[in-house]
Amino acid sequence: MSINELDNRINELRELKRMQEELTAEIESLTDSIKAHMDAHGMDTLLGTDWKVTYKAVTTTRLDTTALKKALPDVAERFTRTTTSRRFCVA
């Protein structure tokens, strides 16, 4: 691939990422306004003709690795796994 082709692809990628950020912000804004409406009306479910929206509390249980490392560092180390990945970044 020539440098000119790379320039074009990277510029296109940057533009698409910019558009993605704008869409993400718009999606978050719409989501927040729907959540605010549901909170204001004490609703956890909305039904439409071809859609359903739920906004309910969900309880999850997770391991507190910081506390585990403090209380039992040898156990935490035995069950810690290190992975390697590659990061793609365009600046």
Indicate whether 28 pLDDT > 90.
yes
Q: Is residue 35 part of a domain?
A: yes
User: CA 73 to CA 65: how far, in whole Å?
Assistant: 10
What is the pLDDT at residue 63?
A: 94
Q: Is residue 63 part of a domain?
A: yes
What is the pLDDT at residue 67?
A: 97
CB 48 within 8 A of CB 65: no
With vertex at residue 56, the alpha carbon angle to CA 51 and CA 57, rounded to the nearest 5 degrees, is 160
Phi, psi of 49 (to 5 degrees): -65, -40
Taking residues 5-25, report their average pLDDT.
97
DSSP 49: S
Q: Is residue 84 part of a domain?
A: no
Q: Is residue 11 part of a domain?
A: yes
* Residue 40: band (very low, low, confident or very high) from pLDDT cuts 50, 70, 90: very high
To the nearest whole percent, how much of the chain has pLDDT over 70? 100
Considering its fold, how many domains does the chain have in total?
1
The region, left, alpha or beta by phi > 0 then psi within -120 to 50, assigned to residue 48 is: beta
* Residue 89: band (very low, low, confident or very high) from pLDDT cuts 50, 70, 90: confident
